[in-house]
Amino acid sequence: MASSGQKVVLITGCSSGIGLRIAVLLAKDEKKRYHVIATMRDLKKKDKLVEAAGDAYGKTLMLLPLDVCSDESVKQCINSVKDRHIDILINNAGVGLLGPVESICMEDMKRVFETNFFGVVRMIKEVMPDMKKRRAGHIVVMSSVMGLQGVVFNDIYTASKFAMEGFCESMGVQLLKFNVHLSMIEPGPVHTEFETKMMEDVAKMEYPGADADTVRYFKDVYLPSSKDIFEAMGQTPEDIAKCTKKVIE
Ligand code: NDP
Protein backbone atom coordinates (compact mmCIF):
# COMPACT_ATOMS: atom_id res chain seq x y z
CA MET A 1 0.00 0.00 0.00
CA ALA A 2 1.21 3.56 -0.72
CA SER A 3 2.50 5.42 2.33
CA SER A 4 1.40 8.99 2.95
CA GLY A 5 2.96 11.49 0.57
CA GLN A 6 3.68 8.80 -2.00
CA LYS A 7 2.15 9.19 -5.44
CA VAL A 8 0.35 6.17 -6.86
CA VAL A 9 1.58 5.58 -10.43
CA LEU A 10 -0.09 2.99 -12.66
CA ILE A 11 1.84 1.95 -15.79
CA THR A 12 0.54 -0.22 -18.64
CA GLY A 13 2.66 -2.73 -20.60
CA CYS A 14 5.47 -3.39 -18.09
CA SER A 15 6.53 -6.87 -19.27
CA SER A 16 9.34 -5.42 -21.42
CA GLY A 17 10.95 -2.35 -22.95
CA ILE A 18 10.05 1.19 -21.99
CA GLY A 19 7.24 0.29 -19.54
CA LEU A 20 9.50 -2.05 -17.60
CA ARG A 21 12.21 0.63 -17.35
CA ILE A 22 9.79 3.36 -16.25
CA ALA A 23 8.41 1.05 -13.54
CA VAL A 24 11.89 0.22 -12.22
CA LEU A 25 13.17 3.81 -12.33
CA LEU A 26 10.17 5.16 -10.41
CA ALA A 27 10.11 2.28 -7.91
CA LYS A 28 13.80 2.87 -7.16
CA ASP A 29 13.38 6.63 -6.70
CA GLU A 30 15.85 7.70 -3.99
CA LYS A 31 13.24 9.71 -2.12
CA LYS A 32 10.65 6.90 -2.43
CA ARG A 33 8.14 9.35 -3.90
CA TYR A 34 6.26 6.74 -5.94
CA HIS A 35 4.14 3.68 -5.23
CA VAL A 36 4.29 1.91 -8.59
CA ILE A 37 1.55 -0.38 -9.86
CA ALA A 38 3.23 -2.12 -12.78
CA THR A 39 0.71 -3.89 -14.99
CA MET A 40 1.05 -6.46 -17.75
CA ARG A 41 -1.42 -8.64 -19.61
CA ASP A 42 0.35 -11.88 -18.73
CA LEU A 43 1.84 -12.08 -15.22
CA LYS A 44 3.85 -15.13 -16.32
CA LYS A 45 6.13 -12.55 -17.96
CA LYS A 46 6.91 -10.83 -14.66
CA ASP A 47 10.41 -12.29 -14.05
CA LYS A 48 12.42 -9.69 -15.97
CA LEU A 49 10.65 -6.84 -14.17
CA VAL A 50 10.89 -8.47 -10.74
CA GLU A 51 14.60 -9.10 -11.24
CA ALA A 52 15.27 -5.53 -12.42
CA ALA A 53 13.25 -4.08 -9.52
CA GLY A 54 15.26 -6.02 -6.92
CA ASP A 55 14.47 -4.88 -3.36
CA ALA A 56 11.81 -2.47 -4.59
CA TYR A 57 9.53 -5.40 -5.54
CA GLY A 58 6.84 -5.79 -2.89
CA LYS A 59 7.72 -2.42 -1.36
CA THR A 60 7.45 0.46 -3.82
CA LEU A 61 6.48 -1.78 -6.73
CA MET A 62 3.53 -4.14 -7.03
CA LEU A 63 2.07 -6.04 -9.96
CA LEU A 64 -1.44 -6.30 -11.39
CA PRO A 65 -2.77 -8.03 -14.50
CA LEU A 66 -4.15 -5.70 -17.15
CA ASP A 67 -5.04 -6.12 -20.81
CA VAL A 68 -5.81 -2.68 -22.23
CA CYS A 69 -7.90 -4.30 -25.00
CA SER A 70 -10.44 -5.67 -22.51
CA ASP A 71 -13.10 -3.49 -20.84
CA GLU A 72 -13.45 -6.05 -18.07
CA SER A 73 -9.72 -6.30 -17.37
CA VAL A 74 -9.38 -2.50 -17.23
CA LYS A 75 -12.32 -2.19 -14.81
CA GLN A 76 -11.07 -5.05 -12.61
CA CYS A 77 -7.58 -3.56 -12.45
CA ILE A 78 -8.70 -0.05 -11.49
CA ASN A 79 -11.25 -1.44 -9.00
CA SER A 80 -8.49 -3.36 -7.24
CA VAL A 81 -6.49 -0.18 -6.60
CA LYS A 82 -7.29 1.17 -3.12
CA ASP A 83 -10.15 3.70 -3.39
CA ARG A 84 -9.49 3.68 -7.18
CA HIS A 85 -7.00 6.42 -6.34
CA ILE A 86 -4.35 6.86 -9.05
CA ASP A 87 -2.25 10.03 -9.09
CA ILE A 88 -0.36 9.31 -12.29
CA LEU A 89 -1.43 7.04 -15.16
CA ILE A 90 1.25 6.15 -17.70
CA ASN A 91 -0.27 4.69 -20.88
CA ASN A 92 2.68 2.85 -22.33
CA ALA A 93 1.31 -0.42 -23.78
CA GLY A 94 1.49 -0.50 -27.56
CA VAL A 95 1.99 -2.68 -30.61
CA GLY A 96 3.56 -2.02 -34.00
CA LEU A 97 2.60 -3.11 -37.50
CA LEU A 98 4.79 -2.88 -40.56
CA GLY A 99 4.30 -3.65 -44.23
CA PRO A 100 2.31 -2.77 -47.36
CA VAL A 101 -1.32 -2.07 -46.38
CA GLU A 102 -2.57 -4.33 -49.21
CA SER A 103 -0.94 -7.31 -47.45
CA ILE A 104 -2.17 -6.63 -43.92
CA CYS A 105 -5.44 -8.26 -42.82
CA MET A 106 -8.16 -6.13 -41.22
CA GLU A 107 -7.93 -8.17 -38.02
CA ASP A 108 -4.30 -7.07 -37.49
CA MET A 109 -5.16 -3.46 -38.26
CA LYS A 110 -8.02 -3.53 -35.72
CA ARG A 111 -5.72 -5.06 -33.08
CA VAL A 112 -3.37 -2.07 -33.46
CA PHE A 113 -6.21 0.41 -32.98
CA GLU A 114 -7.68 -1.65 -30.10
CA THR A 115 -4.34 -1.43 -28.29
CA ASN A 116 -2.79 1.90 -29.25
CA PHE A 117 -5.95 3.99 -29.50
CA PHE A 118 -8.90 2.36 -27.70
CA GLY A 119 -6.53 0.96 -25.04
CA VAL A 120 -5.63 4.52 -24.07
CA VAL A 121 -9.25 5.71 -24.31
CA ARG A 122 -10.40 2.85 -22.03
CA MET A 123 -7.78 3.65 -19.40
CA ILE A 124 -8.41 7.41 -19.41
CA LYS A 125 -12.19 6.88 -19.27
CA GLU A 126 -11.78 4.70 -16.18
CA VAL A 127 -9.36 6.88 -14.16
CA MET A 128 -10.66 10.30 -15.21
CA PRO A 129 -13.76 10.54 -12.93
CA ASP A 130 -11.66 10.10 -9.76
CA MET A 131 -8.97 12.53 -10.94
CA LYS A 132 -11.59 15.14 -11.83
CA LYS A 133 -13.30 14.67 -8.45
CA ARG A 134 -10.02 15.19 -6.61
CA ARG A 135 -9.00 17.98 -8.99
CA ALA A 136 -5.56 16.44 -9.28
CA GLY A 137 -3.78 13.96 -11.51
CA HIS A 138 -1.41 13.48 -14.39
CA ILE A 139 -1.97 11.26 -17.43
CA VAL A 140 1.03 10.46 -19.61
CA VAL A 141 0.68 8.87 -23.02
CA MET A 142 3.50 7.14 -24.90
CA SER A 143 2.99 8.33 -28.44
CA SER A 144 5.76 8.34 -31.05
CA VAL A 145 7.36 10.60 -33.64
CA MET A 146 4.96 8.64 -35.84
CA GLY A 147 2.15 10.38 -33.98
CA LEU A 148 3.39 13.59 -35.60
CA GLN A 149 4.73 12.46 -38.96
CA GLY A 150 3.59 9.70 -41.30
CA VAL A 151 6.23 7.13 -42.19
CA VAL A 152 6.02 4.86 -45.23
CA PHE A 153 4.96 1.23 -44.52
CA ASN A 154 3.96 2.20 -40.97
CA ASP A 155 0.57 3.48 -42.17
CA ILE A 156 -1.68 1.77 -39.63
CA TYR A 157 0.64 2.27 -36.64
CA THR A 158 1.05 5.93 -37.62
CA ALA A 159 -2.73 6.31 -37.93
CA SER A 160 -3.28 4.78 -34.48
CA LYS A 161 -0.81 7.21 -32.87
CA PHE A 162 -2.28 10.19 -34.78
CA ALA A 163 -5.74 9.19 -33.52
CA MET A 164 -4.43 8.99 -29.98
CA GLU A 165 -2.73 12.40 -30.29
CA GLY A 166 -6.01 13.94 -31.51
CA PHE A 167 -7.97 12.37 -28.66
CA CYS A 168 -5.41 13.52 -26.08
CA GLU A 169 -5.15 17.08 -27.44
CA SER A 170 -8.88 17.39 -27.15
CA MET A 171 -9.14 15.68 -23.73
CA GLY A 172 -6.18 17.67 -22.39
CA VAL A 173 -8.09 20.94 -22.75
CA GLN A 174 -11.10 19.57 -20.80
CA LEU A 175 -8.97 17.96 -18.10
CA LEU A 176 -6.91 21.05 -17.44
CA LYS A 177 -10.07 22.78 -16.19
CA PHE A 178 -10.04 20.14 -13.40
CA ASN A 179 -6.30 20.57 -12.75
CA VAL A 180 -5.62 17.19 -14.39
CA HIS A 181 -2.60 17.32 -16.69
CA LEU A 182 -2.14 15.28 -19.83
CA SER A 183 1.32 14.89 -21.39
CA MET A 184 2.45 13.09 -24.52
CA ILE A 185 5.91 11.65 -25.06
CA GLU A 186 6.97 11.17 -28.69
CA PRO A 187 10.10 9.02 -28.90
CA GLY A 188 12.00 8.24 -32.08
CA PRO A 189 13.44 4.72 -32.47
CA VAL A 190 14.10 2.91 -29.18
CA HIS A 191 15.96 -0.38 -28.77
CA THR A 192 13.31 -2.69 -27.31
CA GLU A 193 11.48 -5.89 -28.24
CA PHE A 194 9.08 -3.73 -30.26
CA GLU A 195 11.28 -3.81 -33.37
CA THR A 196 12.08 -7.53 -32.92
CA LYS A 197 8.37 -8.44 -32.69
CA MET A 198 7.60 -6.45 -35.88
CA MET A 199 10.49 -8.06 -37.75
CA GLU A 200 9.26 -11.52 -36.72
CA ASP A 201 5.87 -10.68 -38.24
CA VAL A 202 7.52 -9.31 -41.38
CA ALA A 203 9.58 -12.50 -41.78
CA LYS A 204 6.31 -14.49 -41.93
CA MET A 205 4.63 -12.12 -44.39
CA GLU A 206 3.65 -13.51 -47.80
CA TYR A 207 2.55 -10.19 -49.33
CA PRO A 208 -0.92 -11.11 -50.64
CA GLY A 209 -2.36 -8.30 -52.75
CA ALA A 210 0.87 -6.30 -53.07
CA ASP A 211 2.50 -5.71 -56.47
CA ALA A 212 6.10 -6.73 -57.12
CA ASP A 213 7.47 -3.14 -57.14
CA THR A 214 5.96 -2.38 -53.72
CA VAL A 215 7.32 -5.62 -52.25
CA ARG A 216 10.76 -4.89 -53.70
CA TYR A 217 10.71 -1.32 -52.36
CA PHE A 218 9.69 -2.58 -48.92
CA LYS A 219 12.24 -5.41 -48.73
CA ASP A 220 15.22 -3.90 -50.56
CA VAL A 221 14.97 -0.20 -49.71
CA TYR A 222 12.78 0.37 -46.66
CA LEU A 223 13.87 -2.51 -44.40
CA PRO A 224 17.68 -2.04 -44.75
CA SER A 225 17.48 1.74 -44.38
CA SER A 226 15.17 1.59 -41.38
CA LYS A 227 17.62 -0.86 -39.75
CA ASP A 228 20.43 1.68 -40.34
CA ILE A 229 18.33 4.51 -38.86
CA PHE A 230 17.55 2.35 -35.83
CA GLU A 231 21.20 1.58 -35.28
CA ALA A 232 22.33 5.18 -35.76
CA MET A 233 19.55 6.98 -33.85
CA GLY A 234 18.06 4.40 -31.50
CA GLN A 235 17.70 5.45 -27.87
CA THR A 236 17.60 3.10 -24.92
CA PRO A 237 14.43 2.40 -22.93
CA GLU A 238 16.28 3.93 -19.95
CA ASP A 239 16.55 7.24 -21.88
CA ILE A 240 12.77 7.30 -22.36
CA ALA A 241 12.17 6.28 -18.73
CA LYS A 242 14.30 9.23 -17.53
CA CYS A 243 12.39 11.57 -19.84
CA THR A 244 9.07 10.24 -18.49
CA LYS A 245 10.24 10.76 -14.89
CA LYS A 246 11.13 14.39 -15.71
CA VAL A 247 7.68 14.91 -17.22
CA ILE A 248 5.86 13.79 -14.05
CA GLU A 249 8.18 15.54 -11.57
P1 NDP B 1 7.75 -3.53 -26.18
O2 NDP B 1 7.22 -4.42 -27.24
O3 NDP B 1 9.03 -3.89 -25.52
O4 NDP B 1 6.65 -3.30 -25.06
C5 NDP B 1 5.29 -3.15 -25.34
C6 NDP B 1 4.51 -3.49 -24.11
O7 NDP B 1 3.11 -3.31 -24.39
C8 NDP B 1 4.70 -4.96 -23.68
O9 NDP B 1 4.75 -5.01 -22.28
C10 NDP B 1 3.42 -5.62 -24.18
O11 NDP B 1 3.03 -6.76 -23.45
C12 NDP B 1 2.45 -4.49 -23.92
N13 NDP B 1 1.15 -4.73 -24.55
C14 NDP B 1 0.86 -5.02 -25.83
N15 NDP B 1 -0.46 -5.21 -25.97
C16 NDP B 1 -1.01 -5.06 -24.73
C17 NDP B 1 -2.33 -5.15 -24.22
N18 NDP B 1 -3.38 -5.45 -25.00
N19 NDP B 1 -2.52 -4.91 -22.89
C20 NDP B 1 -1.49 -4.61 -22.08
N21 NDP B 1 -0.22 -4.55 -22.51
C22 NDP B 1 0.02 -4.76 -23.82
O23 NDP B 1 7.86 -2.09 -26.90
P24 NDP B 1 8.28 -0.65 -26.34
O25 NDP B 1 8.66 -0.70 -24.93
O26 NDP B 1 9.22 -0.10 -27.33
O27 NDP B 1 6.89 0.11 -26.53
C28 NDP B 1 6.25 0.85 -25.51
C29 NDP B 1 5.52 2.03 -26.12
O30 NDP B 1 6.45 2.91 -26.74
C31 NDP B 1 4.50 1.64 -27.20
O32 NDP B 1 3.31 2.38 -27.01
C33 NDP B 1 5.18 2.06 -28.50
O34 NDP B 1 4.24 2.41 -29.49
C35 NDP B 1 5.99 3.27 -28.03
N36 NDP B 1 7.12 3.61 -28.88
C37 NDP B 1 8.13 2.68 -29.13
C38 NDP B 1 9.17 3.02 -29.95
C39 NDP B 1 10.26 2.04 -30.28
O40 NDP B 1 11.02 2.30 -31.25
N41 NDP B 1 10.46 0.97 -29.55
C42 NDP B 1 9.27 4.36 -30.58
C43 NDP B 1 8.19 5.24 -30.21
C44 NDP B 1 7.17 4.87 -29.40
P45 NDP B 1 3.22 -8.29 -23.95
O46 NDP B 1 4.59 -8.67 -23.46
O47 NDP B 1 2.12 -9.02 -23.27
O48 NDP B 1 3.12 -8.28 -25.43
Amino acid 158: pLDDT = 98
Give the Cα separation of 80 and 98 in Å (integer). Answer: 36
Tell me, in angstroms, the distance from the centre of ligand 1 to residue 48's CA.
15
* Domains, the chain: 7-242 (3.40.50.720)
Alpha helices in the chain (DSSP H): 17-27, 47-53, 71-79, 106-112, 119-134, 155-176, 193-204, 212-216, 223-233, 237-248
Amino acid 1: pLDDT = 74
Non-local CB neighbours of 204 within 8 Å, separated by 6+ positions: none
Tell me, in angstroms, the distance from the centre of ligand 1 to residue 193's CA.
8
Q: How does pLDDT run across 109-144, given as a tens digit for each residue?
A: 999 999 999 999 999 999 999 999 999 999 999 999
- Measured from CB, residues less than 6 Å from any atom of ligand 1 are 12-19, 40-42, 45, 66-69, 92-95, 115, 119, 142, 144, 187, 189-190, 192-194, 197, 237
Class of residue 39 by CB neighbours under 10 A (exposed 0-12, middle 13-18, buried 19+): buried
The model's confidence at residue 162, banded by pLDDT at 50, 70 and 90, is very high
Pocket test for ligand 1, best of 10, 14, 15 (most atoms within 8 A of CB): 15
157 has pLDDT over 80: yes
The predicted model gives 7-35 an average pLDDT of 98
Q: What is the mean pLDDT of the chain?
A: 96
195 has pLDDT over 80: yes
The predicted model gives 150-160 an average pLDDT of 97
Amino acid 60: pLDDT = 97
Tell me, in angstroms, the distance from the centre of ligand 1 to residue 14's CA.
8
The Cα-based distances of 146 to 59, 143, 154, 167 in angstroms read 36, 8, 8, 15
3-state secondary structure of 135: coil
In the β-sheet with 180-185, what is the strand arrangement from edge to edge? 61-65, 34-40, 7-11, 88-91, 137-142, 180-185
Q: How does pLDDT run across 225-240, given as a tens digit for each residue?
A: 999 999 999 999 999 9
Amino acid 241: pLDDT = 98
Amino acid 232: pLDDT = 92
2 has pLDDT over 80: no
Amino acid 64: pLDDT = 98
Amino acid 5: pLDDT = 85
Give the Cα separation of 42 and 230 in Å (integer). Answer: 28
> By alpha-carbon position, which residue is closest to atom 41 of ligand 1?
190
145 has pLDDT over 90: yes
Q: How does pLDDT run across 49-107, given as a tens digit for each residue?
A: 999 999 999 999 999 999 999 999 999 999 999 988 999 999 999 999 999 999 999 99
